Chain A
Amino acid sequence: MKSDLLRFDDWTSPVPPVSREVLTALPATDEGLPPVLFVPGLGHGAWAFAEHWLAHTASRGFPAHAMSLRDKGDLRSYAHDVVQVAASLPRQVVLVGHGAGALVVARALGRYPARAAVLVAPVLDGWTSLGAALRTNPFGTLPALFGGRLRLSRRQLFSADLPAAEAREYLLRLGQAGARAHVELVRHAPPPRPVGSPPTLVVGSPDDRVVPRSSLDRTARRYGAAPLLFPGMGHDLMLDAKWVEPIDAIMDWLSKEITA
């Protein structure tokens, strides 16, 4: 097994720096609560959280930040970027990762003792998610297996409750991750054990067409709890019509954990 102490990759070929996009919403008054850092999945960016969740988190008293992943990165550089942004914030950070961003957060948790962690619709079982994607959206998924584009469909990301015009606008804003990241999403080492044992919450929807229910349960079990479920929502819980319910539940959980 690779040692966590001997980090030859970082010592001999450090991840090159990039400029990182970070969007911020601060609460009206600083109540000393830990900052929350949102990490998007593949194709998404900081904008996906800036739509609703960022301001809502700030309104609950938590300094809220959302970052974008670097272009043409791999899992290692994504996790590096998350730890870099986390360490740049003034207090110990709560990491919230969505989709593949939850996998990135899971990797970052092995490198940075977060105050707490939330994995939203986490794509931690690559093969299961690949199967689900091939069933729901075979023609958008297949090219990505061979180094081509990944085209996510409305059915995968949103529920029918989200107005078609909004859904279309979001789909247009989706970007492309590199081929390397697509491969690593499916084939990667199991996530490391989080350092500093942060309390961890798994959130998802049983109607998510990217992360099946069985996968949510497995991920939640790995982090020692049952998943918090929001039926009727699509994969993009932060953009879907009922976006307020999961973020309120996350904030309730967080407030309880912080005061505990």
Chain B
Amino acid sequence: MAAFLPGPSVCKDRRVHDTPDIADRHDAVCVIGAGASGLAAIKNLREHSFAVDCYERETSVGGAWNWRHDRSPMYAGTHLISSRPLTEFPDFPMPDTWPDYPHHSQLLSYLERYAAHFGLGEHIWFGTEVVAVTPVGDGRWDVTTRSTGGGASRVQRYAAVVVANGHNWSPKTPPYDGLVTFRGQMIHASAYKDPAQLRGRKVLVIGGGNTGCDIAVEAAQQATTVWHSTRRGYWYAPKYVFGRPVDQVNDLMLKWRLPLRLRQWLVQKTVRLTVGDVTRYGLPVPDHRPFESHPVVNSQLVYYLGHGRITPVPDIARFDGASVELADGRVIEPDLVISATGYLPRFEFLAPELLDTDDNGRPDLHLHAFARRHPTLAVIGLLQGDAGLFPLAHWQSVAVARWLRLRLTDPIKAAAVQQRESSRPLRSWSRRQMVPSTRHWFEVSHTSYLRVLDDLLKHLEPA
């Protein structure tokens, strides 16, 4: 496995930049993005006594959760998929009077209060886009920023860069055959905002993820006809089992450290007893075991299938004029197609090799966070977990802050940690046995991942 951090060769190339238009920010750290992950990064870096400049291209905090932002994927009916205790920041809980699955507007107010509570706003430059991040050679970075309103760009030099630009804003749509000939309306789920868009229409929803299922359910309540196209069968978990949020029940199994096979058996039994046999509604049998694909949590999908409001259909073969041909040869005529086919991460301001990004656009980072060859470059929140992202982003940013601090205070110990990390087995933190899909690039089990971070944090303690 590649080392998590660079050999000394990377550090030799110390060039002297004395161009006056590069403002040297010395030991300050640059954070890119002021969504949940970026805010956690600012707060934890500040707590480790770093000066921080955060750049945010929108004019307010919240990232994906801020429905006012152009790139926000929120739709009016978005609620949490993971329950509140598994989603809140570990050191700033959501009000315990909030529901188990809060609405996205509550999440935004939570992030706004988090930013205000810890005084993060004064470190954020809003309406400022990062256009380039280039290594200077001695572990430091030149960050080129530009106002989103236009104008001249500006270069500043930082000791480290923490990327928190999110991975749910650049839509991924498969290149369907004949899509250009399609006469109906085709939108990506990111453009779906309000159930009024569905009212009285014949809607085809593509994608069996949480968004696809949510939209299929909203369509069942609004549209005249709803088809839901999925490539395979999934394990649809209800939001509640045994009267508790399903992720809290799942964590009981993880707390007792039940082996994976036993957990898979228990889930199969529970789903069979509560949801029942979904093939009765025409859904395919899952082609994988539970926990081998990102969890889909939706209590209402099966309900509407049972009421005949949603017709399950297989994958799309091709679009042709007014009609859509399905993989089983059936032909349907939707007038609105919503493709809930996910998002891809994008780091346009970074040269691909800095994150060891492959030709498919998949970065290869240690713990999905640390650039393997650049010790002062990290990405926060590039994870898909079986629980909420905020706790993972929080502990990632604590690890990054402690790592950057240790590099300054005890370089010898930092080198030892680097050595140790380079031999950490991939399977200890990354979910390997998953259905192959871009959606599972960053899949982790929150407990395994946090155990590894916990171990790393202990080694990053100052002596």
Residues on A facing B (Cβ under 8 Å): 3-8, 10-17, 80, 83-84, 87-92, 111-113, 195-197
Contacts and interface: CB of A to CB of B under 8 A. Distances in A.
Interface in B86-128: 86, 90-93, 95-97, 113, 116-119
Contact of A15 (B95, B96, B248, B249): B96
A3 B454 contact: yes
Nearest to A15: B96
Q: Chain B: interface secondary structure?
A: helix
A111 B450 contact: no
A3 B450 contact: yes
Contacts of B84: 14
Interface of B: 47, 84-86, 90-93, 95-97, 113, 116-119, 247-249, 251-252, 254-255, 387, 391, 395, 447, 450-451, 453-454, 457
A5 B395 contact: yes
Nearest to A6: B450
Contacts of A12: 248-249, 251-252, 255
A148 to B, nearest CB: 31
A87 B255 contact: no
Contacts of B248: 11-14
A84 B84 CA distance: 14
7 contacts: A12-B249, A16-B96, A17-B97, A87-B113, A89-B117, A92-B119, A196-B91
Interface centre among A6, A87, A197 (most CB of B within 10 A): A87
A87 B254 contact: no
Interface centre among A5, A14, A16 (most CB of B within 10 A): A5
B92 to A, nearest CB: 5
Contacts of A15: 96
Given A5-B450, A6-B451, A87 B97 contact: no
A91 to B, nearest CB: 6
A84 B47 contact: no
Given A8-B255, A91-B119, A92-B118, A112 B91 contact: yes
A4 to B, nearest CB: 7
Contacts of A91: 116-117, 119
A111 B90 CA distance: 7
Given A6-B454, A80-B93, 20 more contacts: A3-B450, A3-B451, A3-B454, A5-B90, A6-B447, A8-B251, A11-B86, A11-B255, A12-B255, A16-B96, A80-B96, A83-B93, A84-B95, A87-B92, A87-B117, A89-B117, A90-B117, A91-B116, A92-B117, A113-B47
A91 B251 CA distance: 32
B454 A5 contact: yes
A66 to B, nearest CB: 19
Given A4-B454, A5-B453, A84-B96, A11 B116 contact: no
A185 B254 CA distance: 31
B454 A7 contact: no
Contact of B92 (A17, A80, A112): A112
A8 B92 CA distance: 17
Given A3-B454, A6-B450, A90-B116, A14 B91 contact: no
Contacts of A5: 90, 391, 395, 450-451, 453-454, 457
A113 B394 CA distance: 13
B119 A88 contact: no
